[in-house]
Chains A and B, each alone.
Chain A
Amino acid sequence: MAAAAVQGGRSGGSGGCSGAGGASNCGTGSGRSGLLDKRQALTILPRLDSNSWAQAVLPPQPPKYLGWQWKIDDKPVKIDKWDGSAVKNSLDDSAKKVLLEKYKYVENFGLIDGRLTICTISCFFAIVALIWDYMHPFPESKPVLALCVISYFVMMGILTIYTSYKEKSIFLVAHRKDPTGMDPDDIWQLSSSLKRFDDKYTLKLTFISGRTKQQREAEFTKSIAKFFDHSGTLVMDAYEPEISRLHDSLAIERKIK
């Protein structure tokens, strides 16, 4: 989001300095803990959006080399732009991130846990069949094998029904806790679709009120070209306002009612 853009601007500013065979303070610019050098500030200012002016004061920068980290949450998302499923996954994950981090909702893992449980049970049947067959070689193990095989395929059927009808294409269920603590939580659901070899991405946001149990939906359909640059990096500056607009349209309706 805006903080990431500022960080990008800062590294761009440092690069420009060293390219010019810059002054001594440019070389140590990245080592400083967060204070903008005047020259760097001037290169960065035009890039700030007006609504992120309040974030112009940078948070303290982490040291440049943290060693090799496993988690890369702050690195901008870069994917193969021709891979449809990677595009959809990155858009979904970023939408999830916006709702959870910007609006501070709490994720509900119920749907995902259901799917994981069904898969785990299926694998369990397979493991039981494998071990039993190993301990009692084939002809004696026939009834147990038959039972495990049938159970496995029944679980596969259940999994297919679950993902088609219960989970549908919902990838996030988030709760907004009531600040007064009296009313039940409001539920926000995100679901998306991106057809194969198509560029139109549809994101649908559903709001279920905790008190009245009413459901309201809003969605947008846009080309993925609006959100990715030519190298496949997701530009959060273009994507995040869309999500916010979708969210606010549902939240505002609530206030009017």
Chain B
Amino acid sequence: MLSLDFLDDVRRMNKRQLYYQVLNFGMIVSSALMIWKGLMVITGSESPIVVVLSGSMEPAFHRGDLLFLTNRVEDPIRVGEIVVFRIEGREIPIVHRVLKIHENRDRVSPCWQNGHIKFLTKGDNNAVDDRGLYKQGQHWLEKKDVVGRARGFVPYIGIVTILMNDYPKFKYAVLFLLGLFVLVHRE
């Protein structure tokens, strides 16, 4: 017979204490969420921390590195900078370096907005530029495709995220156990 002794504390709680346990769990989740949303607001990027998934930027970034991004409107995109962008129709963002840009400083031409930029990217470890990855008929990327520019990185830590995504059952098991622990344990 399964001995549920670890639930003894919970069984002795009254309604308010039980509600506080649930609130405790909610507050931990909320704190993580609010820190993430706060980072989104401060950096201006919809995904302020990303994990490098492929080895196309070696030796600068390896698979499993964590990148910190900012996406401020006033920062210009320059050749040589590392940007994280999302191609239309694909959900996984890509980390590559800017190779060429076309920038419009001429106000006269009608088909370009003022300050509009088109740029081409290439991974450091790739042999060719990214035109093969872009959408059919698309030759350049624009500012709206950019998720952010890399500002800093932490090596190796992202391996955990990669593992969790490759083995979703492991992720659910870890989350379930953590949640259960927080709900049952009194502080």
Contacts and interface: CB of A to CB of B under 8 A. Distances in A.
A130 B19 CA distance: 22
Contacts of B169: none
B27 A119 contact: yes
A109 B130 CA distance: 64
B65 interface: no
Contact of A72 (B11, B26, B31, B187): B11
Contacts of A122: 27, 30
A116 B16 contact: yes
Nearest to B17: A112
Interface string A100-119: 00000000010011011001
B37 A145 contact: yes
A123 B19 CA distance: 13
Given A149-B37, A153-B34, A89 B19 contact: no
A129 B40 contact: no
Interface size class of A (residues with CB under 8 A): 35 or more
B90 interface: no
The B interface is mostly helix, strand or loop, or mixed, namely helix
Interface in B1-42: 5, 8-9, 11-12, 16, 19-20, 23-24, 26-27, 29-31, 33-34, 37-38, 40-41
A251 B108 CA distance: 92
Interface residues of B, number: 24
Contacts, number: 73
Contacts of B16: 109, 112-113, 116
Contact of A146 (B8, B11, B31, B41): B41
Contacts of B187: 85
Interface in B31-64: 31, 33-34, 37-38, 40-41, 46
B186 interface: yes
Nearest to B23: A119
Interface of A: 70-73, 75, 77-79, 85-86, 89, 93, 109, 112-113, 115-116, 119-120, 122-123, 125-127, 129-130, 133, 137-139, 142, 145-146, 148-149, 152-153, 156
Given A78-B8, A142-B41, A148-B37, 12 more contacts: A71-B12, A72-B11, A86-B9, A115-B20, A123-B30, A126-B29, A126-B30, A137-B46, A138-B46, A145-B37, A145-B40, A149-B37
